[in-house]
Amino acid sequence: MSLFEIKNVSKSFGDLKVLNDITVSVDKGEVVAIIGPSGSGKSTLLRCATMLETMDSGDLTYKGEYAAKNDENGKSVYAPPSELRKIKGYFGLVFQQFNLFPHYSVLKNLCDAPVSVQKRDRKEVEKEARVLISKMGLEGKENYYPQQLSGGQQQRVAIARALCMNPDILFFDEPTSALDPELTGEILKVIRQLAQEHMTMVIVTHEMAFARDVADRVIFMDGGYIVEEGRPEDVITNPKEERTQRFLARFSENG
């Protein structure tokens, strides 16, 4: 059984069809990278998976539990709110723009949701949060506010915040795109470390070298379709599809 599966998803914004009958499933411990040009639908796919967007049609399951299921007319019907709230505990999302809470300290950014959403013991959560903070190389920053940190540090806080919920799977939406090239490395290092610890992850990224190194599987999307999918050495190094080749060629030209 896959940990996460999104099946036959279609999604339109008005007349624009952004996802066409897409199916992705992810096993426990797997690291999947989604690549593709802007507007290819990869971010929308991630937003559908994390329920920030509703699917027009398609099924969405975590650990075999349905968050949404097609009805007889082929329209997605979502589970009741209580069920969805439970399922939201299975995944975490790291945003391109971090989206930390500016009025909370680093520690509170990590602890507030586990305490007030998951109703866990504050002391225990704080202990766990401090371990995560030092794992992210942010010791001593517990009482800082997000604006006092660099972009790279903020993104590491955001990763820690997602991890503090103990998710089964972590989604990354272009986690380094808002960062200076200098700061990109520190985020990729953290994700690499998580991959070594067999954290299940789905990463939308433009960092091809990183995707090739870290991912177990690469999905190339374009125009709302999955064009090519497979091992990174196949998709990135020796793409079969002409569209993938063109996309990757532009990448190596640009360095």
Partner 1 sequence: MSLMNVMRQIGSGFGSTLIIFFFTLLFSMPLGILVALGRMSKIKPLSVLIQGIISILRGTPLMLQLIVVFYGPYYLFGMKLSTGWRLYATLIGFSINYAAYFAEIFRAGIQSIPVGQTEAATVLGYTKVQTFVKIIFPQMVKRTIPPVTNEVITLVKDTSLAFVLAYQEMFTYAKQVSAAMSSLMPLFVAGLFYYLFNLVVTIAMDRIEKALSYYN
Interacting residues with partner 1 (CB under 8 A) = 50-52, 85, 88-89, 91-93, 95, 97, 99-103, 112-113, 116-118, 145-147, 161, 165
Measured from the CB atom, is 90 or 225 closer to partner 1?
90
Measured from the CB atom, is 64 or 102 closer to partner 1?
102
Give the shortest CB-149-to-partner 1 separation in angstroms.
12
Measured from the CB atom, is 13 or 101 closer to partner 1?
101
As beta bridge partners, residue 195 has none
Give the shortest CB-101-to-partner 1 separation in angstroms.
6
Contacts of 169 (CB under 8 A, 6+ apart): 3, 4, 26, 62, 90, 91, 92, 200, 201, 202
Question: Residue 222: in which H helix or E strand, if any?
Answer: strand 217-222
Give the shortest CB-104-to-partner 1 separation in angstroms.
8
Measured from the CB atom, is 36 or 146 closer to partner 1?
146
Locate all alpha helices (DSSP H) within 57-180, ordered by sequence: 81-88, 106-116, 122-135, 151-163
Give the shortest CB-245-to-partner 1 separation in angstroms.
35
The DSSP letter of residue 148 is G
Give the shortest CB-145-to-partner 1 separation in angstroms.
5
Measured from the CB atom, is 52 or 249 closer to partner 1?
52
| Structural Rg of the chain based on CA atoms | 18
Q: Tell me if 46 sits within 8 A of 30, measured CB to CB.
A: no
Query: How many distinct helices (H) and strands (E) make up the chain?
Result: 9, 11
Measured from the CB atom, is 13 or 245 closer to partner 1?
13
DSSP labels, 58-91: EEEEETTEEEEEE-TTS-EEEPPHHHHHHHHTTE
Instruction: Specify the residue for token string 């806080």.
Output: 157
Give the shortest CB-229-to-partner 1 separation in angstroms.
25
Measured from the CB atom, is 23 or 166 closer to partner 1?
166
Give the shortest CB-153-to-partner 1 separation in angstroms.
15
Burial classification of residue 36, based on how many CB atoms lie within 10 Å of its CB (0-12 exposed, 13-18 middle, 19 or more buried): buried
